[in-house]
Chain A
Amino acid sequence: MMEEKKTTKRLKANTALRQIITDFYADAHRAKAEGRPVGWIPPMNGLIELFYAMDIHPIFPENWAPICAAIGTNSNNFAYAQRRGYSSDLCGYFRNNIGYALDGIAEENQPLDGLPKPDFLISFGAGCIPTMKTFQVLCDHFNVPVFRADLPQVAMENIGEHHIKYGVTQIKRIIKFLEDLTGKRFDIDRLRQAVAYTDEACRLWDQIMDARRTIPSPFSAAEIGIMFVMVTRHGTKIAVDFLRDVLEEVRGKVERGEGVILNERIRLFWDNIPLWYNMKLFNYFEKWDAVVVAETYTSAWTMRMDTDKPLESIAYKSLVSYPLVSCVSLDKRIELIRKAVVDYKIDGAIFHSNRSCKPISMGQMDIMKMLSEELNIPGVMFDGDHMDGGSFSEAQFRTRIDAFMEMLMERKGNIY
């Protein structure tokens, strides 16, 4: 048997990332203290560009959830949600965020000082049901102005003119609301600048991800935390600067032929959200000299923005972000994975069957079937939960993965 090897080569960018995370929340508290509005919004839509263009600090409850999972306050929040009558079969993001916003927020001494309470809320139609419902609960709970926006869920391949047009209508309504709220006029050129930053961030993101096509791969899925900037700092220079540094570091590794592990032999694909409370799991594969080099989740930002059409661009972004990674566009998602598996020279795929997230988990069997039938790439599925460690057995995971990896080793002709 082999010994478990240690990972030593985390990206240096992680130090900067920690600072970015701290600053994001510190900025939010500062905005609050200075009387600038803080708005809570659903993630991954074009409102973030609008917020930054209007000097409004955004808060994304959905992004707070992984932080809670990492620091361990998630179980506390789950307990609060349960006490309020929310079933434990609901998505972990939902339970964590409801539990936190309704009760946990009142606790003292929170990491990162917790979330500043919202000055207003934007409740959306778009996204999955748990996201939509999270905001409905928040709107009912916080006594603050609420803007009800609307965006239908459209399969990515079906997005047409009338969808974009409707999205633009909604954005114009929101602009009016924000102007009234802040007493400031909206400036289209500032939005254009924000959209340009996002476009650049997406371009850099693609380049960073592309670098992982190299064998050996310069970094693994354990670095997925860098997507924090793609969720919270789109529309700002902060994301662009950070990603530029990441790209430089990653390219340096590629040039030097420096892989994330010493003798990379097996390249893996990961489907579904990571287990935020157990990111070490990604290192488990190292004992077979295997690295997770691509994920479905990270493809959510494979898009371009058009600065000539800033309103249309953010409408489009709002429309595609969720369908792209969920079961709304299953065919599109399958197409994306098919391409990634070829481009990244994948040997096997790991499917996290995520009890907490139905929309991303639905269709995984189809994806697995496609990979094996069309590309002869084997896959393995394990039961987990992206937020709730109580629904995950590491022992079972190991048994599954061990057998799968042995099989992959044999296929590769790597007999130890």
Chain B
Amino acid sequence: MDINFRDLYERRLDIVKEHKEKDNCPVIGTLCSYVPVEILHSFGIIPVRIWGQSENLHKADALLQPFICPPVRHLMALGLEGHYNFLDGIVHCYTCDATCGLFNIWTRNLKPGFSHLISLPYMTIDESLTYTMAEFNNFIEKLESFTGKKFSPDNLKRSITIHNEARSLMKEVYYLKKAGFPAGYSGISAMNICSQTLPLEIFLPELRKYVKKMKEDDRGSSGKLKILISGSVISDTSLMAFIEEAGGDIVADDACIGLRMLRDEISEGDPLQSLARYYLTRPPCASRSDFPSRKAHFLETLTDFDIDAVIFIHQKFCDPHLSDHPFMKKVIDETGIPNMQLEMEGDELTGRVQTRIESFFEMLERR
């Protein structure tokens, strides 16, 4: 395959900067997959998920304690190193305490020209929908004064349409892989990150080509065990590759970026209301769920993808996922599907982690 999201992933910041210069459009950083990027897009703003790992993690020490989760510390270090100086602003949607703190500390120290925190409700009753629309309208008002443009429902409709297209194609990629298309999960992960960090106008044409080629290519079956990985931010490609070498085929995920955002389409009708409904009813992240709602989606995914085993990949100090784990484990144990938990410290794939993965697969093969 010649379309390689890995390459786009590596160049993503440069691409955005070029685009920004060429089109003279604002770029706004986001810290969470709950930010309604469709609204930003409808204003001609490029939303860019702030993402990555810093090589100078110690830079974060000046502002964050060592007991804050590694992903958040990495982002702070990247910010302090100036990697995101090209941003015109930052938007967050409250999920976990650590990112909320990061949002505030980032705003105080890096002083972006625009900053906004969206606070979503946790339920899906009618009143929550009304509330969410008010919250979105608030956000829209702030964007209007920031950009000097008026909000246009028609533009939002167009933005929704292309986001829907991208999401449904990405979902297809998962199902094609499940059906035997030989692609490593790190490629899928790169695709997912590109979808959040590149202008959609650049990402979508590539994605269309990619899916078309996938469909044309031969497929077989990897014959490997179908694995679901679950956790918050899972970005370590060497870990993904190691799981696949050890005998697993990662076909599904339950993570910050991935399938959870792809299950649903934003429906037709009043665009703001449809958008609100999408964000309230999409499969929830651990920070925004109660157990029953998380359980339902989890079980659905296990069946949908014929999962043989589950690997939880948890970041150290991650409150939402660590506190959900015993419950989630119970849910999976009841299905009889083997599962294991890896606690990452934000560093590379260590020997300890490798050994644990190897013995897990040895156990699976003996079954």
Contact = CB atoms under 8 A, between A and B. Distances in A.
A139 B291 CA distance: 9
Interface residues of A, number: 47
Contact of B117 (A140, A155, A163, A361): A155
B132 to A, nearest CB: 9
Contacts of A353: 65
Interface stretch (B164-172, B233-241, B324-332): B324-332
Interface in B101-145: 101-102, 104-105, 108-109, 117, 119-123, 125, 127-128, 131, 134-135, 138
Given A137-B323, A153-B119, A327 B131 contact: no
B97 A326 contact: yes
B62 interface: yes
Interface stretch (A128-136, A248-256, A290-298): A128-136
Interface stretch (A67-75, A79-87, A203-211): A79-87
Nearest to A91: B319
Contacts of A158: 117, 119
Contacts, number: 132
Contact of B101 (A84, A130, A327): A327
B323 A94 contact: yes
A116 interface: no
A16 interface: no
A86 B329 CA distance: 11
A85 B97 contact: no
Given A129-B320, A328-B100, A366-B108, A358 B67 contact: yes
B322 A362 contact: no
B110 to A, nearest CB: 12
Contacts of A154: 119
A139 B125 CA distance: 20
A152 interface: yes
Interface in B306-334: 316-317, 319-320, 322-327, 329
Q: How would you classify the secondary structure of chain B's contact residues: helix, strand, loop or mixed?
A: helix
B322 A90 contact: yes
Given A152-B119, A362-B98, A89 B329 contact: no
A411 interface: no
A363 B326 CA distance: 30
Contacts of B65: 353, 355, 361-362, 364
A166 interface: yes
Given A130-B319, A137-B323, A162 B97 contact: no
A150 B128 contact: yes
Contact of B100 (A153, A169, A355): A153
Contacts of A91: 319
B121 A166 contact: yes
28 contacts: A86-B322, A86-B323, A89-B67, A89-B322, A90-B322, A94-B323, A125-B122, A129-B319, A130-B323, A133-B324, A137-B323, A139-B291, A148-B123, A150-B121, A153-B100, A162-B131, A166-B128, A328-B94, A328-B100, A358-B68, A358-B317, A362-B65, A362-B97, A362-B98, A362-B104, A363-B101, A365-B63, A366-B109
6 tightest A-B contacts by CB? A362-B101, A125-B122, A162-B134, A330-B104, A85-B326, A133-B323
